[in-house]
Amino acid sequence: MFKRVLVANRGEIAVRVIRALGEMGIESVAIYSNVDKGALHTRLADYAICLDGDRVQETYSNIEKIVEMAKVSGCDAIHPGYGFLAERPKFAEAVEKAGITFIGPKSEIISLMGDKIEARKCMISLGIPVIKGSNSAIETFKEASEIAEEIGYPVLVKAAAGGGGMGMKIATNSEELEFILDTVRSTALSLFADGTVFLEKYLVRPRHIEVQIMGDKHGNYIHLGERECSIQRRNMKIVEESPSIAISSEIREEMCKAAVTIAKSVGYTSVGTVEFIYENGEFFFLEMNTRIQVEHTITEMVTSVDIVKEQISIAVGKALSLKQEDVKFTGHSIECRIYAEDPNNSFMPSPGEITNCIMPGGPGIRIDSGIIAGYTVSAHYDPMLAKLITYGRDREEAVSRMYRALREYYIEGIKTNIPLLMAIMKDKDFKECDISTKYLEEKGALINNSHSERKTVYISIENSN
């Protein structure tokens, strides 16, 4: 087992990993930027090292600095969390070269699955269904136009190195395509240092469904079921649940089998997620996330499997602690992502000091959070503050518990998206699971009317005696 692990992240995922390490008897080393001094993850870790800087590039995305800190602090492994460097092959490679264990798949696997074009080719060779589109990089507008005419508009222009909902735009005609092609290519260069783009047929009202997989170094592979992740804003998930009640048992079995086949075919050794697009009874491979997923929590709730601990054990070299037949699915779980966003300003980030924070509790409630009262939310990083997770015997109970928990959640000093999440939980279409990735685009009134925070009405009754 590892003796000491550096957690190369911040916020709630750093807290989650540090807690798992503590339960496994492994020392943890937190890293932090200047603006994160005193953050919750630094207080929970055994050791904390300042990265000396504020910007992402000089702190949490600085490969050389992080690897050096791991070496100096005597760490024998690094856990990347998600985001930042988690899916950067160069980071995994640098960690490996330093003689430190990277808690995740090998760098070459991250590289293969991180390149959307190569991953698409891999799926085609395995017989996994993919959305119609280009099977190689688009070099010219003429080439893009010909493919778009063949598969039909609208089309999605995607960055080959993209991920997390970034680096993609929709074109509905030839004129838009020419402009969007240049825009996505420029964005991709800026975000991923790779301007390679490709085309896919744009599905109008699909669902986003993903499968959690695990693979160890002994050739064992299992899945932990699927998650429904269709409620998104700006291509970013905000509400997830498990299981999906929209797919049949037959489709579920096919999806999960396909996900395990993919993991086996590339020799995947860690935890990961295979994402699919589902529409009209058909599913198509979207991408593979070669890291711990933000929404792993809901899978943990319905399977009682600690995915982070399994990930660490796999990296040590241990076999999976369970076989496929050992995985039992019970109940229903929902996750809401709590963001520092201003509903009155198009949900733009809302940095500032958290002056008060009252978190919900009670049966079936879990909170993965990186915030405390007095913490200052920085404009330098992603505005997600916490994840609120509920569990119920069925979906109805999980939804009702989520609404109740959201009503109890008080974060003062900044604006949050809690009112929007409450409105979603009360929405008729959501309750009936009539949702898609276009749900929020179709719910303008719901968004416009979800700007006010809940307040308790205090009633004073005079004594009549």
Q: Within 10 A of 133 (CB to CB), how many other CB atoms are there?
A: 21
Q: Which two tokens stand for residue 38?
A: 């005193």
Collapsed DSSP state (helix, strand, coil) of residue 419: helix
pLDDT mean across residues, the chain: 94
Phi, psi of 222 (to 5 degrees): -145, 165
The per-residue pLDDT for 461 is: 80
Confidence at 454, pLDDT banded by 50, 70, 90: low
The per-residue pLDDT for 32 is: 97
Q: How many whole angstroms separate alpha carbon 108 and alpha carbon 25?
A: 30
What the chain holds in terms of domains, given with CATH numbers, is 4-103 (3.40.50.20), 132-201 (3.30.1490.20), 207-448 (3.30.470.20)
The per-residue pLDDT for 268 is: 98
**Type of residue found at 147:** I
In tens, the pLDDT along 11-25 reads 999 999 999 999 999
Confidence at 446, pLDDT banded by 50, 70, 90: confident
Confidence at 193, pLDDT banded by 50, 70, 90: confident
Find where tokens 């505005």 sit. Answer: 383
Find where tokens 């005193």 sit. Answer: 38
Task: Kindly tell me if the per-residue pLDDT of 99 is higher than 90.
Answer: yes
Phi, psi of 134 (to 5 degrees): -85, 140
Of the ranges 20-29, 336-345, 388-397, 401-410, which one carries the lowest mean pLDDT score? Answer: 336-345
For β-strands 271-279 and 207-215, DSSP reports them as: antiparallel
The per-residue pLDDT for 192 is: 83
Confidence at 164, pLDDT banded by 50, 70, 90: low
In tens, the pLDDT along 212-244 reads 999 999 999 999 999 999 999 888 999 999 999
Which stretch of DSSP H or E encloses residue 337?
Answer: strand 332-339
Confidence at 347, pLDDT banded by 50, 70, 90: confident
Q: Which residues contact 264 (CB under 8 A, 6 or more apart)?
A: 215, 221
- Residues with catalytic roles: 291
Q: Which residues contact 391 (CB under 8 A, 6 or more apart)?
A: 301, 302, 331, 332, 333, 364, 366, 398, 401
- Residue count (the chain): 465
Closest CA to 111 of 126, 101, 128, 96: 96
In tens, the pLDDT along 51-75 reads 999 999 999 999 999 999 999 999 9
Q: Within 10 A of 329 (CB to CB), how many other CB atoms are there?
A: 14
Task: Judge contact between 223 and 288, C-beta under 8 A.
Answer: no
| Residue 2, CB-side half-sphere exposure with 13 Å CA sphere | 31
Q: Give helix 249-266 / helix 107-114 axis angle, nearest 10°.
A: 130
Strand partners, 232: 237
Confidence at 465, pLDDT banded by 50, 70, 90: low
The per-residue pLDDT for 451 is: 60
Q: What is the DSSP letter of 455?
A: -
Collapsed DSSP state (helix, strand, coil) of residue 151: helix
The per-residue pLDDT for 33 is: 97
Number of helices and strands in the chain (H, E) = 15, 22
Q: What is the DSSP letter of 133?
A: B
Confidence at 161, pLDDT banded by 50, 70, 90: confident
Mean pLDDT, range 129-152, rounded to an integer: 94
Q: How many whole angstroms separate alpha carbon 439 and alpha carbon 442?
A: 5
pTM above 0.85, yes or no: yes
More confident residue, 193 or 407: 407
CA angle 331, 333, 335 (to 5 degrees): 180
Task: Judge contact between 186 and 207, C-beta under 8 A.
Answer: no
Q: Which two tokens stand for residue 96?
A: 């490996």
Render the burial of 79-93: b for 16+ CB within 10 Å, e for the rest: bbbebbbbbbbebbb
Q: How many whole angstroms separate alpha carbon 224 and alpha carbon 452?
A: 38
Q: How many whole angstroms separate alpha carbon 89 and alpha carbon 112?
A: 9
